[in-house]
Structure 1
């Protein structure tokens, strides 16, 4: 199932195709900055009913070399079927577009990154035929950008750094630097990066820190994240008000129950005294006493019940 972190890890390259050339130096290669970039369809399905869909597909062109394809795959965990799928993607793209094809896998944890980096051959050991060697970007090689000035110099790379280090201890410092740098950026630049970062952190505890950092100035970050925070605050306030109302109602009910209990016992005391004195208690007198809900009035009736010659006379002072 597609998740926000999955989408953020590859769509950020659609947002800024030149990001790949800046990332490449951390992967041990040097890809020049593209002078041209084109987003291509990601659906690789043929007449075969099995659907093949790459996450992001770009056609890049640099001044030093001709055009080439970059397939970007976001990988959240190890999956035994993925190497075969990646081999299919690259072979199919090479066949369809007749262009050199590179594969970049973006990960958020070291174990998945190590697994994705392994070379995989589709043939037997002595006949490798086609060998897959993906480029992998993850917490093991992406920079830890904790200086706001460094983040400001390349906001998109700083956002990717936060996404790939989402589960790492140093992510808090990266997020603080990125948040500081974004405050100086125009809204049309900052807004998508705020959202990419939020999506990339969606399954990690660091998402709460990012939400708090973004919430410092909601009037600036007019994004879905800001609306989510507003909705959550509204919900929290509603819950607080609801709890206060419940508490007030609970106190009122407790008071009512206490008064009812005092009245019940008071009525029993009045009737007990009248009965102990051997006085006849007519039904209307008994009903009036048992239906009385005023504890103070019942106390006065109890005082008169001690001396009243008739049960009806307990009411005479009312």
Structure 2
């Protein structure tokens, strides 16, 4: 925090969101950095939890302060009223007309809900939200799936071009098998074989270990 403030010449605030009161009490700190009894740095986070964040279940209230609505949904994610809070928040973010701020707030909320049932409710309400790498949001799952499919298509195209360059005939059935494959490891094995096969059927020949496993 000290480094960020020095680098950007702006005030830095550590914001913590908690879904239970016990954790919220602990998170208020202070957290000190000491050396031989001398306090070098002391951090006092701003903690948002069930006790100091209101339950926003009204869409108009959520629309006036969508960021607070998001924090309300996170901190009360395990509360019986969570679905109502999420519905109000979803309405507020959708009213922002797909702005970047709405996407980031939606992604932040999905992460903040963790593995609670409320997260699935949020996904149903919003479809998918912003891409936060490594956080497992729905957008990320869709994105990575698309990346894998795109890589598979690239491998398939490379196999077909290599075979065609070598003058090897590729029947339609074999072409569909190659282009329809999404197993990257299998596609890589096929690609490695393309310089050596005499016909397209050699491409699909079982490897020795596969044959041994089948016999066993």
Structure index of larger Rg: 1
TM-score where L is the length of structure 1: 0.35
